[in-house]
Structure 1
């Protein structure tokens, strides 16, 4: 029976999931419509569309996992359901981490305010937009391979628990099996470290560039407003906090699950942090992108007018 705290966490998770699915779905739909009209997607729109679509699907898998954990524990322990849920989670989450990292790298290399003059940086800045489709394709392949390895690791971990319970003496084969089980968690953790390091490095460079450019404008031209730079710094810093928090919660959740010491309320809390990251970043992307912001304001205005007409007809038939 779920406790009051767990039910409150689940309700909060439902709200965060709905916000995330609406926000990410909105971004994907707007980009797809614009791409259909212009018959071309820019590199930034490619990354945003892939990121939004995968996050939309990830929210659905996240909600499914929360429902199974909270209300159908017996069903969730069924091997086929657990394998399907874990595989979907791993693939969508790994791909989303990579897409978010590529988005950060794209902004770093292609935004004109970056002022690093290293030859390698300038060469990558020229070539990166053309590499985006291949990077996205490589991300899908890498995520699929990482998911296969990680799901094999999950199977081995469950087998390790059975092996260790049956070990009655310290044979050499038993020691080897135990040692492998001890370090098998790294097969799950290591693949996500690469996009995290890429994202962290590019975000630090971009924040440094923004801060330097803001100070340069303030020192050279006293009457120039730096509000746009401050808003960009705040948005990027907020995204970094959400990304880092979600990443460490993912790792902690994996380690605790591997140790089989995670409680249900802790898992629900982890789900809320992960959902807050995806939902919060979608909102940030909408507000810092003029095209998405304008389209969202237009849709909200039309929705308010429609609700007003419906309310007026209901009050005054």
Structure 2
């Protein structure tokens, strides 16, 4: 049952992200140029696919051969891949939040206008800053040899950590949380400022006695729904990521980590489908693809019935 759930979530997530990547890449090839948001979506899709592959590989290894993680090099490699791929996915999703905010929100403040005109520079600066945070985390991890301590405990068949090791583990988990704090606060600020922009725009509409909802209001609400859904999924993802690391650090031999890994597929899976539904081009292409697949399936069923009818006569 465990492997069925993991495989189903992994396959669905891969298909959703591959769809986003392929559609945007085909537009890139067809138009011989790419928009900034499409480039972010391609990077996000690739990072999500990588993240899903790492989680799926870990889940399979833990299910097939739990003793494989007695190897320190495998523990270290898995941790690095896990952190890097998940961080990349988080950064590009946050870049998308920044893009929506700067593109849709409307303020007359000089700082906002300066940021809006230099949108690409803002995103690049955020990515560089996030990269420094990631490097700092790995440097800190080298000074806190928690992975080696876990390996020693597994090898010695111990069940309890010494107090000094527990303190080191808590520090490493706090450092891990700090990496997610920046993208979370940036996304939260983007959502809040979009809300303020919508309130300001609604007041302007009331002043001119407009009773209907204009296109800018609809765009604001649509972007806010996407950002809110991202934040909710992101908070759940951080919680389960932290839970998985707590279980792995303090109960390295426990099989409960396996089931927590299933929850880590939810974020890259769900958010990808939210992006597809929120993007009119991706949504219409997906609907056409589903309709085509449905008609092909119906034709296959009819052909099978005809073929089986020949033998029954």
Sort the TM-score into its range (normalised by shorter chain): 0.7 to 0.9
* One of 295, 301, 305 as aligned partner of 1:311: 301
Asked whether the 8 Å contact 1:207–1:233 carries over to 2, the reply is yes
Q: Displacement, 1:19?
A: 1.7
Q: Displacement, 1:120?
A: 0.8
- Find the counterpart in structure 2 of residue 170 from structure 1: none
- Find the counterpart in structure 1 of residue 69 from structure 2: 76
Q: State the TM-score, normalized to the length of structure 1.
A: 0.79
Asked whether the 8 Å contact 1:54–1:92 carries over to 2, the reply is yes
Q: Displacement, 1:203?
A: 2.4
Which consecutive unaligned segments of at least 5 residues does structure 2 have?
157-161, 308-313
Asked whether the 8 Å contact 1:58–1:93 carries over to 2, the reply is yes
Q: State the TM-score, normalized to the length of structure 2.
A: 0.80
Q: Displacement, 1:160?
A: 7.9
Q: Deviations over 1:123-169 (max 9, x none)?
A: 00110135546755x37854763574366367444248859xx9xxx
Which consecutive unaligned segments of at least 5 residues does structure 1 have?
1-6, 167-173
* One of 221, 225, 228 as aligned partner of 1:237: 228
Q: Deviations over 1:33-90 (max 9, x none)?
A: 1111112111111111101111011111111111222332111332233222221111
Residue 144 and residue 312 in structure 1: after superposition, are their counterparts in 2 closer, same or farther (change >3 A)? same
Residue 70 and residue 175 in structure 1: after superposition, are their counterparts in 2 closer, same or farther (change >3 A)? closer
- Find the counterpart in structure 1 of residue 262 from structure 2: 272
Determine if the alignment matches structure 1 residue 14 to structure 2 residue 4: no
Determine if the alignment matches structure 1 residue 251 to structure 2 residue 242: yes
CA distance in 1, matches of 2:271, 2:51: 14
CA distance in 2, matches of 1:161, 1:299: 48
* One of 7, 15, 27 as aligned partner of 2:20: 27
CA distance in 2, matches of 1:65, 1:148: 20
* One of 25, 32, 46 as aligned partner of 2:39: 46
CA distance in 2, matches of 1:198, 1:234: 16
RMSD: 3.3
Determine if the alignment matches structure 1 residue 158 to structure 2 residue 148: yes
Q: Displacement, 1:256?
A: 4.0
